[in-house]
Amino acid sequence: MQKQVPASFEGYNAYAKTAIANNEKLTISAKAGKFAISALATAGNMLAMWAISEVISVISACVTASSRLQESAKELSTQFSSTQSDIDGYKTKIADLYTVINDGSSSYEETYNARQQLLSIQNEMIEKFGSEAEAVQLVTDAVNGQTDALDSLTQL
């Protein structure tokens, strides 16, 4: 309900002053509300930008990790191919040495050199593939005509 405006000038003047004071209070309140809404909007925008930035960072990290994984897989594939090639070379060399050792027409010196080369192959295999006992067994099996024993090094 609206107040009735007083009939006298003094009453009207007092009413007008009260109305102006109340209006100023409302204006200050409206400005404070407008500032609060603006601050909340700014904070919301900052939060949204931070969230977008984090999402982009996560996507970038995933892409980078995927690339690194792909490079690692390529390196491992190359190493595996190289290892397999080395083992094929060992198999051929051991088969040739086996032939020399078991050939009755080979001289003592040829047989001795073939055995020295087998020991050299054994040492190389120990350096490349580890465990001496396994390498010795593989070379022993290969000398006994079982060069397929070296295939166990390329099994996944």
CA atoms lying within 13 Å on the CB side of residue 94: 28
Mean pLDDT, residues 101-113 taken together? 87
The residues, ordered by sequence, that sit 6+ positions from 100 with a Cβ below 8 Å of its Cβ are 106, 110, 111, 114
| pLDDT tens, residue by residue, 8-63 | 777 777 777 787 777 777 777 777 777 888 888 898 889 999 999 999 999 888 88
Give the whole-number percent of the chain exceeding pLDDT 90.
8
Q: How far apart are alpha carbons 123 and 131 in whole angstroms?
A: 11
Q: How far apart are alpha carbons 34 and 47 in whole angstroms?
A: 20
pLDDT of 1 above 50: no
The predicted model scores a pTM of 0.43
